[in-house]
Chain A
Amino acid sequence: MTLLHYLVLSGVLFTIGAATVLTRRNAILAFMGVELMLNSCNLALVTFSRIHGTLTGQVMAFFVMVVAAAEVVVGLAIIVSIYRARRTVSVDEPSLLKN
């Protein structure tokens, strides 16, 4: 058992999160992918913290958590208002970013 395994797991989770953002059309699911990526980063940070024997990594992970919380609040609010305006949460609405 080495701490390397945590890092590999972190990488795998990050990749799954990124793939989710690329493939899911539902904005909420894509958003969940982003959260998964953030979490995998936290895992890596905590692992590094243990490797180096300092708590800085954990503090960093803590701040990531807080910022993620703020981000989720705003992001979900945006999704809700978009849903209200367009009756859909698909990120593929082509007219959103075109023209």
Chain B
Amino acid sequence: MIDYSWLLVAIPLASAALLLLLGRRADAWGHLLGVLAAAGAFVVGLLVFLEVMGQPSEDRIHDVFLYSWIPAGDLHIDAGLRIDPLSLTFVLLITFVGTLIHIYSIGYMAHDAARRRFFAYLNLFVAAMLLLVLADSYALLFVGWEGVGLASYLLIGFWNHNLEYAVAAKKAFVMNRVGDMGLIIAMGLLFAAIGSVSFTDVDAAVTAGALSTAQVTAVGLMLLLGAVGKSAQFPLQAWLGDAMAGPTPVSALIHAATMVTAGVYLVVRSRLIFEASPTAQLVVACIGAFTLLLGAAIACAKDDIKKSLAGSTMSQIGYMVLAAGLGPIGYAFAIFHLVTHGFFKAGLFLGAGSVMHANGDSTDMRTYGALRKVMLVTWLTFGACWLAIMGVPPFSGFYSKDKIIESAFVGEGWQPWVFGGAALIGAGVTAFYMSRMFFLTFHGKARWVEAGATVAPDDPRPVRHPHESPLVMTVPIIVLAIGALGLGFALTLGNGITGWLEPVTGHYDHDAHHAVLPVPVITVTTLVLVALGIALAWRQYGMSPVPLTAPTGSALTRAARRDFYADDVNEGLVMRPGQHLTRTLVYADTAVVDGAVRGTASGAVGLGQLARKLQNGYVRSYAAMILAGVVLAGIVLHLVRM
């Protein structure tokens, strides 16, 4: 089955091509084909997974050669797939969550005229994402990397008739390009240094010490730049909030569960490079720690349910990046958290989509409230995911996030205290903003009016008719909620996920290293902080009435509402200088380059005009020229001879 793993990429890609090429003829059944393609990829992934599971641990890494892709002299790149526990984990996550979200989209996009196109893009995304995680070289990974960027762009701007959404898509695309530049530079550095970009060769070269520390650090930082762009980490985090302009299933699949975690995948996949460069590794951890707090702060301030979830995603990926930056101790936990996060965050997004669906596509949490009575299934599933993300035992987030917090406290010097403290505070803030979201949406008093009810004319509350979503939408959420509930426990059974990932992440003896604080102390502190966060949120949003319009708030809240002025910083530091630079370049192009070209032309014309004067038609002038030539030749010959 491993030899047929190319089907993983081929099936969704073929489906996407078919849906796009057939056009409106496929409108009637296009969504079903899309779901089938995703499900087919999942089945193939599952078969491959089972086969690999049946092999001994040390034989679980397979390289599947597909074809010679770029045979250009010294640059020889083969297209091949890397089947190993890491890529298979991603394959299963992508195809399983992807299939669920495909099914959910049938209901969510039921009223959209372009549903077929939506499914084509989703399939395209799945194919590109699978190519990204299955690639056996940075070059092929880059193809998938760009493919998911393209799919992300297409899907964020799916409703591009709305100018804001189109701008958001463009913003995401452009900011991702900044990261991609880092990836390209990293590939260039690797190729210059070792002449290959395949994982096998790079790992071998790094292990053999073929690269100097400076080179490794440069490669690591450039890879990190790519990861930061794709995973919306500081300083390239500003696009993720705007990316919520896309349909909610897109936010769930691309901007929560899979694509944004590609940065974490890249760091873990390149772990040998980062291990060889402690500087780069430290930068990774710092960025993760900083972003987890930044994202949490943004999530606390937003009233838009999806943007709040986007801040939360940023924060949770910050945890993963932090874990990946901690070294061998954290890789498995980063991937573990990535998987559980994929489930519960997708569940949260789908739940949010369900709530929006019921509330006329309004995303303002201040107009929700008391929805648990009318949306029981959504309330229950959202609640499960809410408990999971906060890390409440025995939900899955507890198993994964707690491990990361524990790992952050391992080490020497200032690092465990800073990283551990950040992770700990992040857990508390996570509890606060998730509880705030949960209570604002499902509890408290209704801040809307049931359609048909008698209303006072000066009532500012919007008229709504909330209702439970159809089965096709609720079933996937239920499945995801079950995953959020039990996945953590299931995967830790008998060292499940760490043992499974060991061929890739390397062996780490957890008993040999100890945290600076006793593990029970850390766990209890975390749970206390979580409880505090929930209580605070309940006091503020559960018990007391919530105003329809947001209060002014503190300076921190105002800053967080504006994403800590990330847009202003980007515009001031990058966009405007860029525009000025472009204008200068255009001017330089017109004046200097074009001027040179035109100057050459007019110079040639002028010379021609001068030469034309010589061609006056008088035979005697021509004779004079001939004689002048003779005289000159005579002089030259004479001089040369002398």
Contact = CB atoms under 8 A, between A and B. Distances in A.
B600 to A, nearest CB: 27
B617 A97 contact: yes
Interface string A84-99: 0000000110111111
Contact of A22 (B615, B617, B623): B623
Contacts of A96: 617, 619
Most A Cβ at <10 Å: residue of B619, B620, B624: B619
A34 to B, nearest CB: 10
A16 to B, nearest CB: 13
Given A18-B627, A22-B627, A92 B620 contact: yes
Contact of A91 (B616, B620, B624): B620
B618 interface: yes
A95 B616 CA distance: 9
B622 interface: yes
Contact of A95 (B615, B617, B622): B617
Contacts of A98: 615-617
Interface in B566-624: 615-620, 622-624
A21 B625 CA distance: 12
A22 B616 CA distance: 15
A23 B616 CA distance: 16
Contacts of B620: 21-23, 25, 30, 91-92
Nearest to B623: A21
For the residues of A in contact with B, the DSSP-based class is helix
A92 B618 contact: yes
Interface in A43-99: 91-92, 94-99
A70 B143 CA distance: 80
Interface in A16-31: 18, 21-23, 25, 30
Is the interface on chain A under 10, 10 to 19, 20 to 34, or 35 or more residues? 10 to 19
For the residues of B in contact with A, the DSSP-based class is helix
Contacts of B619: 91-92, 96-97
A20 B624 CA distance: 11
A94 B617 CA distance: 5
A98 B622 CA distance: 12
Contacts of B615: 98
B627 A94 contact: no
Nearest to B615: A98
A37 B619 CA distance: 18
A4 B338 CA distance: 105
A97 B627 contact: no
Nearest to B630: A18
A18 B623 CA distance: 9
A30 B621 CA distance: 13
B638 to A, nearest CB: 13
A99 B617 CA distance: 8
A84 B131 CA distance: 88
B623 A94 contact: no
A92 B620 CA distance: 8
A23 B621 CA distance: 10
Contacts of A99: 617
B12 to A, nearest CB: 71
A94 B618 contact: yes
A97 B623 CA distance: 13
Contacts of A30: 620
A91 B618 CA distance: 7
Interface of A: 18, 21-23, 25, 30, 91-92, 94-99
User: A-B pairs with the 7 shortest C-beta distances?
Assistant: A98-B617, A97-B617, A91-B619, A94-B617, A21-B623, A22-B624, A22-B620
24 contacts: A18-B627, A21-B623, A22-B620, A22-B624, A22-B627, A23-B620, A25-B620, A30-B620, A91-B619, A92-B618, A92-B619, A92-B620, A94-B616, A94-B617, A94-B618, A96-B617, A97-B617, A97-B618, A97-B619, A97-B622, A98-B615, A98-B616, A98-B617, A99-B617
Interface of B: 615-620, 622-624, 627
